Structure 1
Amino acid sequence: MKIAEKIKKKIKRMPEGTTFKYQQLDLSKTEYSGAAKAIERLINEGVIKRITKGVFYKPKKSVFGELRPTETEIIKPYLYEQGKRIAYITGTVLYNNMGVTTQVPKIVKIASRSKRIYIDSGSIKAKPVKSYIDVTEGNYSLLEILDVLKDFTKIPDLDKESGIRFLKDKLNGLSEKETNMLVKYALKYPPRVRAFLGALLNEITGQENRNLKQSLNPLTTYRFNLNEDTLKTAPNWNIK
């Protein structure tokens, strides 16, 4: 099959509004030169559009005309390398998507351990932050939870009682295996994150997690400015 036909079939199977890089086209190294010409033809034909160098999208059509991909969809190709997830969106954009803040920042934060990812494409601007853990498709949702714990006192306009309920719901929805993984990852995060997670799990299960407890300095106090009834196990973990 010719490269142009191969690419056209691949793009035809993509949902409208999908963004992609060359890596998503399953090309061999010898096909990249021909692929560039095929991509240019498809752009000229209006089949796809270019977002920035090496990043494209399949336009989504509506009664109002063509729609540009969502911010999350535009960023998505940058979160993968050779088909594997290496990064995830964090910071206020993540917390807005989760519904714990109404604030929308101008700059998106992208967490990765292996790569520093910058984006400057029209209204989309992103800067890198360092992930504490190597990011994979299987663990990034757990890292998102840990980031909420880490930034809890800094999340704009967060209602702390609602935030605690949100976190309890998230933790209650995890399997035993996922909870064990979350604890394992938390040991790489700052002590305040480990204490906060320990207090939440303590209230949910009625037991103190030994690994989290032993990782903390018993003389250190962590200030979250919580009401006494918001997280009743907080004093067990030196959280004020």
Structure 2
Amino acid sequence: MTISSKIENKVKKLPIGTTFTYQTLAVKSDEYAATAKTLERLIKKGMLKRASTGVFYKPKQTVFGELKPKEEELLKNYLFENDKRIAYITGLSLYNRLGLTTQVPKVIKIASRDKRIFASIGNIKGKPVKSYIDVSDKNYYILEILDALKDFKQIPDMNKRSGVLLLANEMKKWNEKDKNLLVKFALKYPPRVRAILGAIIENFGVTNETKPLKESLNPLSQYEYKITEDILPNAKNWNII
């Protein structure tokens, strides 16, 4: 089998809408030239698209036209290092995906503990923010919810009642291990996050583990979220105003 045929067969087996690189295709050093020509041929045929230099994807065709991969997929090479997750998308882009806002940011925030990640893929631009916890595939979705609570006051055009309910319902889906990690990770976040998380957990019966959150808060401090008691009946118990 020729190198061209081998590469084309590998490409055909890849899922539509996912990005890939030369490394994904396990290309040997002496096969790069032939592989590059094969990929260029497939691009001209419309079977492939180039997301950025050295990053490709198989476009998904719908009745509404061609769909590009999701942001998470396009930024995959920035979010992972040696197949290990080191970052996640946060900020308005995340809150839009969660259904908390309809606004779409011009620049995507990429959170990582140890790396400052700048990204540029076509019209997509990414800038770094520092995560509160080391990021992994086993915890990034927990950090997403904590980030939403951290920025709750600043999320544009969000209905607070719907926002609280949406986040509470997301937490309730998790197993007890994840719920315990949620409380543990929250202790690394600002006090206001621990207060609103404690109130949501307690009010919606997410878990019984609210004691560490309560003990971590200054009983004389108040946390301004402008959340009324009809949204969180126990808001005053957590000094939320």
TM-score band by shorter chain is: 0.7 to 0.9
Aligned pairs for 1:1-240 within 5 A: 7-26=7-26, 31-32=28-29, 34-35=31-32, 37-46=34-43, 47-62=47-62, 67-205=67-205, 209-240=210-241
- How far residue 144 of structure 1 moved from its aligned partner, in angstroms, is 0.8
Cα distance between partner residues in 2 of 1:24 and 1:114: 25
Aligned partner of residue 223 in structure 2, secondary structure: coil
Deviation at 1:201, TM superposition (A): 1.1
User: Cα–Cα, structure 1 residues 220 and 18, in superposed 2: closer, same or farther, change >3 Å?
Assistant: same
What's the offset of the Cα at 1:66?
Answer: 5.2
**Which stretch shows the higher mean deviation, 11-20 or 153-162?**
11-20
Equivalent position amino acid for 1:101 in 2: T
* Secondary structure in structure 2 of the residue aligned to 1:115: coil
Find the residue that maps to 1:182 and give its secondary structure: helix
Q: CA deviation at 1:90?
A: 0.9
Query: How far, CA to CA, are the matches of 1:97 and 1:80 in structure 2?
Result: 20
User: What percent identity do the matched residue pairs reach?
Assistant: 54
Q: 1:235 to 1:22 in 2, by over 3 A?
A: farther
Q: Which runs of 5+ in 1 are unaligned?
A: none
1:224 CA displacement: 0.3
- 1:2 to 1:193, Cα distance in 2 relative to 1, 3 A: farther
CA distance in 1, matches of 2:179, 2:171: 7
Question: Deviation of residue 91 (structure 1)?
Answer: 0.7
TM-score, structure 2 as length reference = 0.87
The CA deviation at 1:26 is: 4.5
Q: Against the structure 1 CA distance between its residues 37 and 184, is the aligned structure 2 distance closer, same or farther, given a 3 Å change threshold?
A: farther
Q: For residue 142 of structure 1, report the CA deviation from its aligned partner.
A: 0.8
Equivalenced residues, count: 237
Question: 5+ residue gaps in structure 2?
Answer: none
- Cα offset, 1:7, TM superposition: 4.2
Question: More displaced, 203-212 or 174-183?
Answer: 203-212
Quote how far apart the aligned CAs of 1:42 are: 1.5
